[in-house]
Amino acid sequence: MRLGYETGNTPFYMRFPYEPYYKGHHLRREYPPITLKQLQVLIDTNRIDPSKPIDFTAFCNTGLFRLSSSMQAGFQLTDEGLDCFKAKVCIEVQHAKEQVIAAIERNGGVIRTSYYDPRSIQIMANTEKFFEKGEPIPRRMLPPQDAVEYYSSAKNRGYLADPEEISKERLILAQKYGYELPKIENDPAYEMLTSAKDPRQIFLGLEPGWLVNLADECIVMPKEE
């Protein structure tokens, strides 16, 4: 008799109901981690350019990160390597904790958390393949109901939050962790640091409805909305 074999038609794992904390587990979004240490190494090895905004596409273009499931909705930035992170970046991720936000902002950087629907994630993961199809860039969908609160929160640096509230929370966080908040208004890279996508944009600088023609190396824009 093999190990674990149980007689009868109903094995033990089918005799008991589901535990309540597993309810909806199969519908929960996953955010594979990227550490601050990994981000610093990517910058130091020139795989990521800190002089440009960093987003989901930038991570995928390194060739080191891929999503393996349709339930994976982007990347979360984690605090491993927090003490050795020295780069100043403008970065957009899908999830980040308070310590990570503080680590970015104490260096004079800017961080945003932003939602992308599954189709947008698929397009950003392989932009060249999408542009080769010759299809117009679609609009990014707004977050589902269970994610609206997170992405509307200034504490989370959500992309739907009020910019004035974010400015207040930046100062509060600096006071909490005991660092002086750099004034990005006086930074030579101010334009880059404050660049942000519209909530319906997938690519920075490319509007929904535009078509990228790789063969002719041009962008086709509609005359009317």
Give per-residue pLDDT as tens, 56-79: 999 999 999 988 777 888 999 999
Output phi, psi for 96, to 5 deg. -155, 145
Q: Is residue 168 part of a domain?
A: yes
Q: Is residue 195 part of a domain?
A: no
Q: Is residue 185 part of a domain?
A: no
Length of the chain in residues, anyone? Answer: 225
Mean pLDDT for the chain overall: 91
AA identity, residue 176: K
Render pLDDT for 2-27 as a digit per residue (tens, 0 to 9): 776 777 777 766 776 666 666 776 67
Q: Is residue 139 part of a domain?
A: yes
Tokens at 43, concatenated? 């910058």
User: What gap in Å lies between CA 155 and CA 97, rounded to an integer?
Assistant: 9
Q: Is residue 1 part of a domain?
A: no
AA identity, residue 40: Q
CA-nearest of 120, 121, 142, 11 to 66 is 121
Q: Report whether 101 contacts 204 (CB < 8 A).
A: no
Termini Cα distance of the chain: 70
Q: Is residue 187 part of a domain?
A: no
Show the domain range for 144.
31-180+204-220
Number of domains the chain contains: 1
